[in-house]
Amino acid sequence: MLKTQSTSLPNVNPKLIVSDQAKTNMGGCVSFYTAQLLLIFLAVSSSVVNCCPPSERAALLAFKAALHEPYLGIFNSWTGNDCCHNWYGVSCDQETHRVADINLRGESEDPIFQRAHRTGYMTGYISPAVCKLTRLSSLTLADWKGITGEIPRCISSIPFLRILDLIGNKLSGDIPRDIGRLHRLAVLNIADNNISGAIPPSIANLSSLMHLDLRNNRISGPIPGSVGRLRMMSRALLSRNQISGTIPSSISMIYRLADLDLSMNQISGMIPASLGKMAVLATLNLDFNKLSGPIPASLMNSGISNLNLSRNMLEGKIPDVFGPRSYFTAIDLAYNKLSGSIPRTLSAASYIGHLDFSHNYLCGRIPDGSPFDHLEASSFAYNKCLCGKPLRAC
In degrees and rounded to multiples of 5, residue 136 shows phi and psi of: -65, 130
Tell me which amino acid residue 208 is.
S
The percent of residues above 90 in pLDDT, for the chain, comes to 81
Whether the predicted pLDDT of 15 surpasses 90: no
Q: What's 131's DSSP letter?
A: G
Give the count of beta carbons closer than 10 Å to the beta carbon of residue 253. Answer: 15
Read off the pLDDT of each residue in 209-214 and give the average, rounded to a whole number.
Answer: 98
Whether the predicted pLDDT of 263 surpasses 80: yes
Helix spans in the chain (H): 20-49, 54-65, 111-116
pLDDT tens digits, residue range 351-383?
A: 999 999 999 999 999 998 888 888 999 999 999
Rounded distance between C-alpha atoms, residue 170 and residue 166, angstroms = 10
pLDDT tens digits, residue range 119-138?
A: 899 999 999 999 999 999 99
358 close to 378: Cβ distance less than 8 angstroms: yes
Nearest to 248 by CA among 287, 222, 266: 222
Read off the pLDDT of each residue in 238-267 and give the average, rounded to a whole number.
Answer: 98
Tell me the HSE value of 316 on the side-chain side, using a 13 A CA sphere: 12
Read off the pLDDT of each residue in 226-233 and give the average, rounded to a whole number.
Answer: 97
Tell me which amino acid residue 233 is.
M
The per-residue pLDDT of the chain, averaged, comes to 89
pLDDT category of residue 42 using cuts at 50, 70 and 90:
very low
pLDDT tens digits, residue range 313-336?
A: 999 999 999 999 999 999 999 999
Read off the pLDDT of each residue in 199-217 and give the average, rounded to a whole number.
Answer: 98
268-269 vs 90-92, strand pairing mode: unpaired
CA 27, distance to chain mean position in Å, is: 64
Question: What integer pLDDT is reported at residue 225 of this predicted model?
Answer: 96
pLDDT category of residue 117 using cuts at 50, 70 and 90:
confident
Question: What integer pLDDT is reported at residue 109 of this predicted model?
Answer: 80
